[in-house]
Each structure stands twice: as structure tokens, then as C-alpha cells.
Structure 1
Amino acid sequence: MAVSALIRSVMTGVLAGSALVLGVVAAADPARAESIRVLVGQDVALLTVRSEGDVAVITETGDTKVLHPPLQVSARKEGLEVNGRHLSGGYILIRPVMSQLSLKMSKEEGQRSGNGGFTGSAQGAELSVSGALRILHKGRLLSVVNQLDLEEYVKGVVPSEVNSAWHPEMLKVQAVAARTYALYNKMLSGGREYDVVATTQDQVYRGRSGVDRRVEEAVESTRGIVVTYQRAPIYAAFSSTAAGPTEDAVNVWANKDLPYLKGVECPFDLDSPYYQWKANVKVEQLEQSLRRQGFSIGTVATITPILYSRAGRVARLRILHSNGETVLRGEDLRKAVGYTVIPSTQFEVESMGAEVVFTGYGAGHAVGLCQWGAKELAELGYSYDSILQYYYPGTELHQVASTQVLAPPTLPAP
């Protein structure tokens, strides 16, 4: 079957139900704003904060001082220091009086370049953010949390995860997925000091970097809309390139046997630059990487995939080495060697000598939304809601009241 015919075939059923789903989406209420707490920095020794106007510095005890930036924040054993002045308490809140905040973090005090524990930006970059900063005292180091409006956060995620020049419907897809993922994690954050992390551990967030008119329009036109299952926000997993059927979530995360994260056909991402790849890994490097992850590995002799998922990805592999035999998950190997080195678990071992040569397809865990597949569907004229419902089967789109936090649905034990 030709790809175009297959696309029409797999999408027909989804399109048939999309009008009913859109009918339950209520009008957004911009006056009621949901907030989100984003961990943008850990193990930071020195934080520099800039703003075009004054900022309010609020201590844990409620004392407020209005200061003119730049501010330099560091940690001492007994508390925090701002521009050399000691402030008592476990945290401070920095809120701009009028404009946005820019921040730079470093690992060593006195260092003025490098990102240190900066989780949300490239090396040496300054992060411009909306909202406020909560600076937490962690011994002699700092954790930095950006507290901001959920929709402003989504605007920062969209261009960090996909190219803002992509089709407008694809940008809407990414906006709704990012918003849904954030709300789901907020529901489960409990006593944590943050809801999401600004890296691929959750979803990439680089503040206002890359936010343009197209991103603004995609987020505003879907404001408050989330993907739901049993009327609760779903765990909206997404990754770059499936290169075949998407994966059942339980094969990647044992505790997430979710009905809406079952594999679907995805012949749509052939244009992805990550569709096919090859990786050369030195055997010595592989051995060291596995040992750092806690595996008792000797000198490696062979690496053999022994079990595949329904979608064709490596579920288990056997490593024969001088200390014996070790069986591990394909995802464990990716984590040890590096997610960018081995982009997916859809691989084979082509050859092995001083280096192991892996050949494979796709990038990411392949659970849920395939970004490059969604891009192609958007370009073919499919709407953002139909694309989302295809990749998250059995779901609906709803407008979530801004102050409402829903409980996740009760699911059978895996």
C-alpha cells in the first residue's frame, strides 16, 4: 500500500469523531491563570539576575526589598546572600516590578560564563523568563525554580521542542501536548518544590528564547485545551521519530501501562533526519559507561539483542563479558551510553571489534506522539485535534478550568 493511501486509511476513523470532541471544548477564561513551577537550575553556586527595571526580593519570612539589578545570589552554610548581604530563611522569591528577568548560572563562584547547573539552555547562554524566580538554599548550592503562568511556559516549550517554522497545526499539536504533560506532572508533584524539569527529563524549556508570532498564535488559539482520558489530563508522552509503529508505554516505563499509550502505525516520519542512523561506540567507553550505571561488566565479548517488543524495538539484550553474562533492557543501554549516541532502541549490532557499530531507526522512546509524524500529517491537512487523538487513542480534548487540578484516572495494576 502506498504511504498516501495508508495515511488516509489509518486517519479516516479519527477524523470521523473529531467534530464530536471539539464540541465539548468550552471557551477559555484568560482571567483564571494556572501556574507552573519549572526547575531550571540545580547545584548552582552563583546566580546572576538582570532586569530592565527594579525587582522585589521576598524572603521566606515575608520581608520585601526592592532592589535594582544586577543581583548576584549565592549560598552560604547559614543561608542565602544577595549582592553580599545575608538573607535568612530557606528561599527567596525574585519578582520583576515591570519587565522580564534574565539569568545566568555558574558552578563556581566568580565564574561569569558557562551554564553550571543550568538545565534549560545551551552552554554560556542567558535565559530570559516570564514570571518569578524562587531561589532555594541547598547547603552551599542553589536550586532555581521559575514560577510562571502555564501558557507562558507552554510558549517556551514549543520552540524548544520543534521548529517554529513548522506547519501551524503541528505547533498547536505540540502546544496541547506540552500543556497536557505539564498539568499531569503538576497533579503528581505532591510535596516537591517544582512540577517539571526544563530538560528532556520532562520537556525542554528555554524561557522566551525562540518565541515568535507563530508560537504565540499556536498557544493562544489552543489556550487551556488538554488531551484527556476519563476527563483527566493524560501522560502526554512524545518523542522525535518513531520510524515504524509507536511503542507501548509499558515497554519503556513498567509503571505506565496506560490505555491511551498503546502503539499505533506511524508511516509518516520518513523525512525525519533521524529516521535512519549509525553509531560507533568504543568498547572501552561502553564498558565504563555500563559500570557507572551499576552494572558489573568485565571485558565485553559480544552484545546480542534477545527480545524485541511488538513494535520491533530491543526489549532485552545479552552482554557476554569476562565476568560472565549480563542481561539488560535496551533503554538501559541507551541511558548508559547516551541518548544522543544511541538515539533509539530500534537497532541491530552490525559489527564488533575495538568499536561496536550499531545501526538503527528513529529517535526517542517512540511512546505517544511522534513529532515528525505529526508534522507530516499537519502538512497533509489534518487538524491538530485529529492528530492528537490518533497518537493518543481513546482520548478526548477538553478545556480544563484554570484552577482545577484533576486526579489521574484509576487504572488496573500492571
Structure 2
Amino acid sequence: MRVGLAFWSLLCWSLLVPSAQATELVRVLLFQDVQRVDVSAGEGMTVRLSSGDERAFETPLIVTSLADGIAVNGERFQTEGVTVRGRQDLRVEVEGQIEAQRPDRPIERAAVFLRPLSQGATASPGPSPVLQATEPTGTMVVSGSLHVLRRGQGLMVINAVDLEEYVKGVVPSEVSSSWHQEALKVQAVAARTYAVYQQMMNAGRDYHLVSSIQDQVYRGRHGVDPRVQQAVEDTRGIVVTHLNAPILAAFSSTAAGQTEDAVNVWSKDLPYLKGVECPFDTNSPYYQWRTSFKVVELETNLRQKGMAVGSIANVSPLSYSRAGRVAMVRILHSNGELILRGEDLRRVVGYAVIPSTQFELEAVGSELVLSGYGAGHAVGLCQWGAKELAELGYHFPAILQYYFPGTELKDARLLESVSPSTP
């Protein structure tokens, strides 16, 4: 990566004029399968039913699911959903299952944050003590409006929010707001691009994105400070494009040497998601790790996923990707042989237990011990690599175009009639 690239990208960037605030709203699934939703605001709120009727209510507002409709502050309505608006930000609390999930997508999609591991430590699931953004909570403060829909046996809570406000809620949930300002701009553009891509791909659904790591972690107003706001404002409306269309702007924590080809992770052969060298993230707390899990736990997890395995005798890497990650794993068991993708092994055992597929494996008694590098799928942007490049003086356009080769930065308003860049 040459200094000339950074200078040229910055020069080209200076010719672009950021767009006015996007008028399109992003629909973000916050919570699902809940029985009760409490909403409060500084002043009164209005509630619109799916029929179009609108009523004024005092704060707080309690929405509950009924067999034949929805109740608002105890008043029953035969409706499939309500839209809640306030003059100020809305505070929403829920009871019941709270984690937003896509049924059609594995847990790890855009980003993953894991507990930092020191050499010799054992991995354990849980939120990162640094970023604290792996799991949604039952309380959130958001701008925009709330759609509360009756789906199945519970309620689905969706935040309809301005794109730029959404990006402000993503940036501090994905990286620390104390990072270099150019790194925050990188994250802002990546988050915006990913949102616009999903907005186009899911236009006909109830929601475009979920608020968990299946898409991007979004926690509303939480963590939005002046540095985050400035990074979003400085990049307002700008997205990463390929062939004049928004890209699938994948990102993960730590690539540890080289990013990965998307085709090896998601079977998507995208020209802008090809692996590049990434020697910039050695300061990441996730750069090197050691983890272990019991063989019997692997057997149980495989069976729970519908794979008929007997007693496991041996687990070993079968093949490697161009970037040196475990592509396929062979599992020999009493009923035969099972071949798994490396990413599927992570999914079965747990993404927090196996941080990445860049590992060596050995059997120690009844346990499998993995020694490895990096965290996440390593496709696209490396967040810790971007942090280091920003500290070295590179500007956000150069960083993004390095990790997404063959792309351009453009104003999102010019892409409204263009389909996302897919295979």
C-alpha cells in the first residue's frame, strides 16, 4: 500500500460533495417474540394503527400481544401492528425473548467481537469487556419511530430510523469511539454501505436489518458521542460501490495477516471481496489466542445440528484456503467420516469459542486444543487493521479501497435506482 494511493484517494475524495441527509428510512429489527413493550418519551406520543387511525397517548405506553390483536395501555385493538411516534427520542423496554435474529442467516455475518484472549488462556463465550456490544439488551433509546407488529405468538419491535442516525448508532457499537477519527470514518462508511445494500435487498420485508451481529450491532443512542457524530457527518451519504452499486461491505475484527476471499466463507465470489495482505493488526487483543473444548461437547453440538455422528476418534484439518485458514475439517467417528467447512466447525462449536479458522489443532486427552490467530470471518474490512492504518496517516477512502479492491466511493443518492452489486 503506497503513500501515493492515499494521496490520490484523498484528492479524488475532495472532489465529491457529501449528500444531504437521506430521506429513506432504515427499518431495524430490535426485538422479537416479546409479549410486552414499554415505550416512554419526554412528551406524549401518537399511535397509528395498521388501519390508518391515529390516537394520542400519554407516556409511558404499554403495548401487549393478544390472541386476536394488540392492547395499548389496556385498550384492545383488532390490528396486526401499531406505529409509535414521539416528539423526542423513544425509550423502549421489552419482556420475553429479546435477541433479534434472522432465520435465514448464520449468527456471524458482518462483524464479531469476542473476549480478548491472552496466550495460554481458554476461550469462553461472552461479550467483549472492551466493546460490550455482542448482545442486545432489553432496553434501548432510539430516534425515529417504532413499529410494533404481532408476529406468531409475540411482538416484533422495529425501529424506522433515518439512515445517518442509524449509522451513528452502529459505529460506537462496532468499534471504540476513542479510535482515530479516520478509523471512525471508515467504520461509518462501511456501516452505511452495508445498510444501503440490505435496504435494497430486503425492500419488501418487515425490516431491512437486525440489530445484532447477524447484520451490524446497533444500540440506538447508546455510545453516540461528539467524535462519532463528527465521523458520520464528515462522511454523510457516502457509500462504497462497485459498478455504480453499493457493495456487500463485510467487516470483522482481526484478519491477522491476510483477509479472506468471500467465496471461501459464504460461497459468494465477489470481485471486491478478495483477500489482501493485512500485517497491520498485530496490536489487536484478538491477534493470537488459544482455546479448548471437550470432544463430547462437539459430538453433542453436531447431533443437535442434525448430523448423525458416533463417538469421535479424530478431528483434523483437511484443506486450507489461499490465505492459510482451515477450509475443510475431517471428523472420523464410530459411524464413519464427516467433512465440515472450517466456518461450519466454528458455527457448531460457537463463534466465541473458536475465534477464527486460522488455527492449528491437537488432541489433548478428552479435549481438542486450538492455537490460532485473528477473530472473525476475515472477509473485507479488518477493523483493527483500519485502526492502525489510520494512525499511520492514511485517510478513510484509501483504507476502504485497499480492503475492498476495485471499488469507488460515491454519493448514495446517485444509487437509488441501481441494484446492489451481487454475483
TM-score, with structure 1 as normaliser: 0.91
Alpha-carbon distance between aligned partners in 1 of 2:404 and 2:286, rounded to the nearest angstrom: 22
What does the per-residue CA deviation read over 1:120-153, in whole Å, with 9 as the maximum and x for residues that have no partner? Answer: 8857552000110101111320111100000000
What does the per-residue CA deviation read over 1:259-292, in whole Å, with 9 as the maximum and x for residues that have no partner? Answer: 0000000000000000011111122211111122
Alpha-carbon distance between aligned partners in 2 of 1:409 and 1:125, rounded to the nearest angstrom: 35
What does the per-residue CA deviation read over 1:147-194, in whole Å, with 9 as the maximum and x for residues that have no partner? Answer: 000000000000000000000000000000000000011111042110
Contact 2:50 2:81 in 1 (8 A): yes
Alpha-carbon distance between aligned partners in 2 of 1:250 and 1:195, rounded to the nearest angstrom: 24
After superposing the two structures, state which structure 1 stretch, 72-81 or 256-265, moved more.
72-81
Structure 1 residue 43: Cα displacement: 1.1
Of 14, 22, 29, 2:20 maps to: 29
Alpha-carbon distance between aligned partners in 2 of 1:224 and 1:382, rounded to the nearest angstrom: 21
Structure 1 residue 358: Cα displacement: 1.1
> Partner letter of residue 16 of structure 2?
V
Gap change, CA 1:292 and 1:87, over 3 Å in 2: same
Contact 2:136 2:212 in 1 (8 A): no
Contact 2:28 2:159 in 1 (8 A): yes
Gap change, CA 1:118 and 1:82, over 3 Å in 2: farther
Q: Does 1:261 align with 2:251?
A: no
Q: Does 1:287 align with 2:307?
A: no
In structure 1, the residue matched to 2:236 is 223
In structure 1, the residue matched to 2:308 is 296
Structure 1 residue 67: Cα displacement: 0.6
Contact 1:136 1:143 in 2 (8 A): yes
In structure 1, the residue matched to 2:290 is 278
SS at match of 2:47: strand
In structure 1, the residue matched to 2:226 is 213
In structure 2, the residue matched to 1:342 is 354
Structure 1 residue 20: Cα displacement: 5.5
Gap change, CA 1:193 and 1:402, over 3 Å in 2: farther
In structure 2, the residue matched to 1:15 is 6
Contact 1:25 1:225 in 2 (8 A): no
Of 88, 93, 101, 1:104 maps to: 93
What does the per-residue CA deviation read over 1:181-237, in whole Å, with 9 as the maximum and x for residues that have no partner? Answer: 000111110421100111110110011100000000000110001111111111000
Structure 1 residue 24: Cα displacement: 5.2
Contact 2:5 2:398 in 1 (8 A): yes
Contact 1:302 1:320 in 2 (8 A): yes
Alpha-carbon distance between aligned partners in 2 of 1:271 and 1:117, rounded to the nearest angstrom: 31
Contact 1:55 1:94 in 2 (8 A): yes
Unaligned stretches of 5+ residues in structure 1: 1-9, 108-114
Alpha-carbon distance between aligned partners in 2 of 1:345 and 1:247, rounded to the nearest angstrom: 10
Alpha-carbon distance between aligned partners in 2 of 1:24 and 1:258, rounded to the nearest angstrom: 28
Summarize the alignment of residues 134-283 of structure 1 with structure 2, pairs less than 5 Å apart: 134-254=147-267, 256-283=268-295
Contact 1:280 1:358 in 2 (8 A): yes
Q: Does 1:326 align with 2:319?
A: no
After superposing the two structures, state which structure 1 stretch, 186-195 or 303-312, moved more.
186-195
Structure 1 residue 83: Cα displacement: 1.9
> Partner letter of residue 28 of structure 1?
S
Summarize the alignment of residues 85-96 of structure 1 with structure 2, pairs less than 5 Å apart: 85-96=75-86
Alpha-carbon distance between aligned partners in 2 of 1:184 and 1:134, rounded to the nearest angstrom: 22
> Partner letter of residue 25 of structure 1?
L
After superposing the two structures, state which structure 1 stretch, 117-126 or 334-343, moved more.
117-126
In structure 1, the residue matched to 2:375 is 363
In structure 1, the residue matched to 2:72 is 82
After superposing the two structures, state which structure 1 stretch, 145-154 or 15-24, moved more.
15-24
> Partner letter of residue 74 of structure 1?
T
Q: How many corresponding residue pairs?
A: 392
Alpha-carbon distance between aligned partners in 1 of 2:296 and 2:272, rounded to the nearest angstrom: 41
Alpha-carbon distance between aligned partners in 2 of 1:196 and 1:38, rounded to the nearest angstrom: 5
In structure 2, the residue matched to 1:306 is 318
> Partner letter of residue 355 of structure 2?
P
SS at match of 1:344: coil
In structure 2, the residue matched to 1:126 is 139
> Partner letter of residue 87 of structure 1?
F
After superposing the two structures, state which structure 1 stretch, 149-158 or 397-406, moved more.
397-406
SS at match of 2:32: strand
TM-score, with structure 2 as normaliser: 0.89
Gap change, CA 1:326 and 1:56, over 3 Å in 2: same
Of 40, 60, 84, 2:30 maps to: 40
Structure 1 residue 47: Cα displacement: 1.2
Alpha-carbon distance between aligned partners in 2 of 1:27 and 1:374, rounded to the nearest angstrom: 22
Of 40, 46, 59, 2:49 maps to: 59
Gap change, CA 1:203 and 1:405, over 3 Å in 2: farther
Alpha-carbon distance between aligned partners in 1 of 2:382 and 2:422, rounded to the nearest angstrom: 26
In structure 2, the residue matched to 1:110 is none
Unaligned stretches of 5+ residues in structure 2: 102-132
